[in-house]
Structure 1
Amino acid sequence: MAEQAETAITGGTAAEIADSVRDLIESGILVPGDPLPPVRVLARRLEVNRNTVVAAYGLLARSGAVIGQGRAGTRVAEHTPMAQEGYVATGTLRDVASGTLRDVGTGNPAAELIPDLSTALHAAVGRPVLYGEPVIDRGLEAWARDWIAPDVPSDFQLTVTSGAVDAVERLLAQALTRDDAVALEDPCFLASIQVTRFGGYRAVAVPVDDEGMTVDGLRAALAQGVRAVIGTPRAQNPTGVSLSARRAEALRAVLAEYPYVLVIEDDYYSLLSQRQFHSMVGPDHRRWALVRSVSKFIGPDICLALVASDAETASRLAMRLSPGTTWVSHLLQRTAHALLSDAGTRAAIARAGAHYAARNEAFATRLAQHGIETVAGDGINLWVGLPVFARDVGERLKERGWLVRTGDEFRLDPAAGPSRHLRLTIHELDDSEAEALAVDLAEAVRAGR
């Protein structure tokens, strides 16, 4: 197809050339894996500057239509599925369901630790909500304001969205246009990678260390012109790292020079967290949002997140909601409020957070006894560093009956090389199962050496 594409591609600007290639892909003239003409060849035929073709290929790459392979050229991207939380590939799902494989990579909370919804659902049933009424349940709004107020830099407005991912997607859409740059933690939460890619934004990686997003990394990203920053103040997924007070202060100092860059803090773990909340948003920052989902503690099926933000961001976010869902179901809002305002439920959530922390700490101790040193951070998962490539260890564990997630899925830059980390969800293993996994993991590492 390369020869046919070379003569079919038209255009005199980068946008026109990119649109022409998209048309060829959509019409099936170009299919996944097909090479695009070399930059030099296409520029000569179209009688444009080589930089124009480079820019066109860049637009296509950022939209996910093509993939650059260095000296191997540029090819139409394969339609490979993206990794998702809790998701198991179809072929593997059969093995998990049959018990052949034990899945310790789901990222899911423990079902038995999610509060019983029956009483709250009964309390949520009431007068029907009609068009034109307030979009936020008054009881939930009052409770949420008291909860959030101590952790935000200034006066705020409250918005309810259908979960944290929905909030982040709409926040980016109201502030950015296609090809704008977004600073993301690296390694990164899977949903943030997906939202950025599907929105056509350009991800700029900011490394994460044991105190959170790095200062030099954020400074470098801002210098590249990012228009939004997405950070996780506590229980960063996948690493489990939380921002220290010192690091948060340093990040605020860097961001003070960029007050109109949108800063989104995804505090998804909030009520379960064993760490204090520290914000990277300073008191004078102009564009910011704090997102708190309820999925990890009252269930993923309660698709609801609370978004506190400055007035301008809240206004734009409301406009992004108005053409579509308009509001989140008041049945969900009332159910969430009934649970979150109940002292017994709050105590159960606190016990769940302590349980996850204790199980991760215990497993880290087991690994240390087998020669694998790991620091248990905050969160549902455990981030395990390895002396060998994680992908090889993952394959060996699969042979031993374990399904794990390697750090490769969370990397923003595949060119950075294979990961040496596993992200494990082990809180549902009993002691004997945990010991078996630790032994198998240690043996898989030894085999890799």
Structure 2
Amino acid sequence: MDLDISGRSASEIADSLRARIERGDLHPGDVLPPVRSLADELGVNRNTIVAAYRQLTQAGVIVTRGRGGTRVADLSPVAQEGFAAGSVLRDVGTGNPDPELIPDLSGALAAMAGRPVLYGEPVIDPGLERWALEWMRDGLAPAADMRLTVTSGAADAVERLLAQALTRDDAVALEDPCFLTSIHTVRIGGYRPVPVPVDDEGMTVEGLQSAIEQGVRAVVHTPRAQNPTGASLSARRAEELRAVLREHPYLLVIEDDHFSLLSRQPFHSLISRGHRRWALVRSVSKFLGPDMCLAVTASDPETAERLAIRLTPGTTWVSHLLQRLTHALVTDAATMAAIERAGAHYAARNAAFVERLTNEGVPAGAGDGLNLWIPLPVPARDVSEQLMRRGWLARAGDDFALAGAGPSRRLRLTVHDLDDADAERLAVDVAAAVRAAGGRLVTREVA
């Protein structure tokens, strides 16, 4: 391919390449010339080409894939959580909590107002900080060195944590299959995702070891209710992973405990007492509602200090009104009882649907969390297309895959808000969709 690249300095070469991309001569995914060949062609030092590529990488225009070469960045949109806009189908792939189980805010709203907060004041509300200190210490080994930060939700926290530690094209270990927001955050940040397989006990030891060997600078993982699989770290797996991480104390470990108060599983952390770079993030969005954009991050002092710089009062601190509202709710006995009932509800409804589905010949298990991760004998896309013909909009596992090892045979379903009749109808329709897609059902033996 004749790209007609010109220039003698790094800036001139970078501008020439950017112009070709903007003009449409190069498209997302196209491979750029290797450093050595482009340097020879232009008659410049190889370091000049390296500097030009670095400028474009930092701008998010190109990405470096190691042996895969340097390519034009793909900026096409990625799948997002939530309802599918404009669909007339019954959406069972939303990943949303049940709005009927989100606590009523009206009483707390009336009680939480107080004096106005002015520039220069502490960014964390004192009441929320006292409560959060106990909340975040639960199950966390290095509590004595803990510092708190409040951000506008878990995604905001993870984005800031990565940004304060990494530069574009740094490698980040992500669970595979992966939470859609994590995929989006890493992609927009210009980082290089390294997939780590997840099984029923969480992130695999071999996968983490492989990611470390590939030079990851950070690890983002979910200790329980992993989205989309519902997997939670077992005590055994957590200890095995901690043993791996003890050899890499400066590797940034980010734990996103998004389901926290709703989880039916114990919390097992990857963070050991001697680890130097770490953060535990807990959001309130699953139990107080997605519009309550607030998360608390516990981290080592250095990470907390860097986060504080990115949350300077007067620019990006989280509203104290929102912090006071959160504190009023989580310290209310009736609200906490309602949250406990909600967690039990999600677990019971998911287990009941799995039983229905298994009875129809599609055996599955119920993990923790809002969703179900259904194994299929045929590609999930084929099943989801058949479900659309029956009035359902489901989420194929391909949306969550990082490694790209062929079509996914998993379906993620959000079923906890279905009544018994609709749940039974969906189970029957999933079985019919599997048959229509060429799959065989499993007949249960009757004792």
* C-alpha distance 220-335 of structure 1, shift in aligned 2 (>3 A): same
Which of 76, 81, 93 is equivalent to 2:77? 81
Aligned to 2:300: 310
- CA contact 2:5–2:13 (8 Å) conserved in 1: no
Aligned to 1:144: 132
* C-alpha distance 225-36 of structure 1, shift in aligned 2 (>3 A): closer
Q: Deviations over 1:334-358 (max 9, x none)?
A: 1000000111111100110111111
- What SS class does the counterpart of residue 124 from structure 2 fall into? coil
Alpha-carbon shift at residue 325 of structure 1 (Å): 3.5
Cα distance in 2 for partners of 1:397, 1:49 equals: 58
Residue 259 in structure 1 maps to residue 249 in structure 2: yes
- CA contact 2:261–2:287 (8 Å) conserved in 1: yes
Which of 119, 123, 131 is equivalent to 1:131? 119
Alpha-carbon shift at residue 150 of structure 1 (Å): 2.9
Residue 442 in structure 1 maps to residue 424 in structure 2: no
- CA contact 2:6–2:12 (8 Å) conserved in 1: no
Aligned to 2:42: 46
Residue pairs, 1:351-430, within 5 angstroms: 351-414=341-404, 416-430=405-419
Alpha-carbon shift at residue 46 of structure 1 (Å): 2.9
Q: Deviations over 1:389-420 (max 9, x none)?
A: 11111111111111111111111133x21111
Which of 260, 271, 275 is equivalent to 1:285? 275
Alpha-carbon shift at residue 8 of structure 1 (Å): 3.5
Cα distance in 2 for partners of 1:144, 1:34 equals: 44
Alpha-carbon shift at residue 200 of structure 1 (Å): 1.0
* C-alpha distance 342-413 of structure 1, shift in aligned 2 (>3 A): same
Cα distance in 2 for partners of 1:287, 1:201 equals: 18
Alpha-carbon shift at residue 381 of structure 1 (Å): 0.5
- CA contact 1:62–1:197 (8 Å) conserved in 2: no
**Identity level (%):** 65
Which of 19, 22, 26 is equivalent to 2:18? 22
Alpha-carbon shift at residue 23 of structure 1 (Å): 3.7
- What SS class does the counterpart of residue 228 from structure 1 fall into? strand
Cα distance in 2 for partners of 1:341, 1:435 equals: 38
- Bigger drift between 395-404 and 316-325 goes to 316-325
Cα distance in 2 for partners of 1:179, 1:68 equals: 7
- What SS class does the counterpart of residue 367 from structure 2 fall into? coil
Cα distance in 2 for partners of 1:217, 1:21 equals: 36
Which of 103, 109, 115 is equivalent to 1:121? 109
Residue pairs, 1:194-273, within 5 angstroms: 194-273=184-263
Residue 110 in structure 1 maps to residue 106 in structure 2: no
Q: Deviations over 1:37-60 (max 9, x none)?
A: 665985663357999989988997
What CA RMSD, in Å, does the superposition of the two structures yield over aligned residues? Answer: 2.9
Cα distance in 1 for partners of 2:96, 2:327 equals: 22
Structure 2 counterpart of 1:328, one-letter code: V
* C-alpha distance 131-181 of structure 1, shift in aligned 2 (>3 A): same
| Structure 1 alignment gaps of length 5 or more | none
Residue 181 in structure 1 maps to residue 171 in structure 2: yes
Cα distance in 2 for partners of 1:355, 1:367 equals: 18
Alpha-carbon shift at residue 434 of structure 1 (Å): 1.0
Structure 2 counterpart of 1:30, one-letter code: D
Alpha-carbon shift at residue 36 of structure 1 (Å): 5.8
Alpha-carbon shift at residue 32 of structure 1 (Å): 4.2
Aligned to 1:339: 329
Give the TM-score, by structure 1 length.
0.89
Cα distance in 2 for partners of 1:425, 1:81 equals: 23
Cα distance in 1 for partners of 2:46, 2:120 equals: 54
Q: Where does structure 1 differ by over 6 angstroms across 4 or more consecutive aligned residues?
A: 48-64, 72-75
| Structure 2 alignment gaps of length 5 or more | 439-447
- CA contact 2:119–2:314 (8 Å) conserved in 1: no
Alpha-carbon shift at residue 22 of structure 1 (Å): 2.6
- CA contact 2:60–2:168 (8 Å) conserved in 1: no
Q: Deviations over 1:414-444 (max 9, x none)?
A: 3x21111111101111111111111111111
* C-alpha distance 52-202 of structure 1, shift in aligned 2 (>3 A): farther
- What SS class does the counterpart of residue 242 from structure 1 fall into? coil
Cα distance in 1 for partners of 2:389, 2:64 equals: 34
- What SS class does the counterpart of residue 353 from structure 2 fall into? helix
* C-alpha distance 214-324 of structure 1, shift in aligned 2 (>3 A): farther
- CA contact 1:62–1:201 (8 Å) conserved in 2: no
- Bigger drift between 390-399 and 49-58 goes to 49-58
Cα distance in 2 for partners of 1:300, 1:392 equals: 31
- CA contact 1:63–1:198 (8 Å) conserved in 2: no
Cα distance in 2 for partners of 1:34, 1:215 equals: 31
